[in-house]
Amino acid sequence: MEFGVRAIRSAGQGSGSVEVTLPAAFRGLAGLPCRLALRDGLRPEIVLQPDLGLARAAFGSLWRLLCEAFALEAPADAPLAHLTLSLWPIEASGPALAWADGLALAAPPVPGPALARSAAGLAAIAAEPLGIARGLAAAFGAACGFALTGLAPRPGQEAAADLAAQLLRLRDLSPGGAFRAAEDPAAPAFRAAAAPALAALVDAHLDWTARPEAHAALLADWRRGVTLELGGA
């Protein structure tokens, strides 16, 4: 990804200090340690490699929380190789994570959208080992992100969020209850509130895996409701 051309500036002739003014898109990485490397050759390049260890650890912690709630035996580290990874949140065709969201998770209080997107991406790849149908994986991930925060993780996932809301309320569980209990996924109050909601979503999606017609009927009802709402009826 190209960000245009920038000039290297010196702090003074007698100083070895130099700086490069980066585009505003990198403002969220201010203060992050970076590894500096020079690639010599016909077209020399100076490479800045940010240390994303905090984000990786935060994804691992959230992954373990999800697996605990799902009663799923899984590797302790988040299987990042199975996701689309980007620096900033992007639209992707499958489960995705953004390093910027991971850095936000590592510095509570956590922004709700970052948590919703991250939980959705990680939960979606847990669908297969849980026995949830592949066609329901994205909806399951979105439902989990919504259950934790009360926010639809991404545009276009409103149906999964609304169906999750209906299910949770039927079980006297509050969408976003975990996030209201604590804006830090590592906090005991967050984990305690998250576990029953996530377990309920696993049960529902396993049921819809066994009875896809039930899920199709709920989606049809949801679409009719949206159509009536938009039509003002």
Give the SS3 label for residue 98. strand
Query: Whole-angstrom Cα distance, residue 197 to residue 66?
Result: 11
Q: Where are the domains of the chain?
A: 8-50, 57-231
pLDDT category of residue 13 using cuts at 50, 70 and 90: low
Query: What's the pLDDT at 205?
Result: 98
Mean local confidence (pLDDT), 65-88: 93
**Between vectors from CA 61 to CA 78 and to CA 203, what angle results, nearest 5°?**
75
Q: How confident is the model at residue 27 (pLDDT cuts 50, 70, 90)?
A: confident
Mean pLDDT of 8-16: 72
- Average pLDDT over every residue of 185-207: 97
In DSSP terms, which residues pair with 36 in a beta bridge?
A: 48
**Average pLDDT in the 171-194 region?**
95
Which of the pair, 229 or 63, is modelled with greater confidence? 63
- pTM confidence score: 0.89
What pLDDT score does 19 carry? 80
Residue type, 229: E
- Average pLDDT of the residues in 146-152: 97
Query: Which residue would you say has higher pLDDT here, 64 or 233?
Result: 64
Nearest in space to 202 (alpha carbons), one of 154, 131, 107: 131
Looking at per-residue pLDDT, the higher value among 100 and 74 belongs to 100
pLDDT band at 232 (very low <50, low <70, confident <90, very high): low
Return mean pLDDT, the chain: 92
Distance separating alpha carbons of residues 79 and 82, to the nearest angstrom: 6
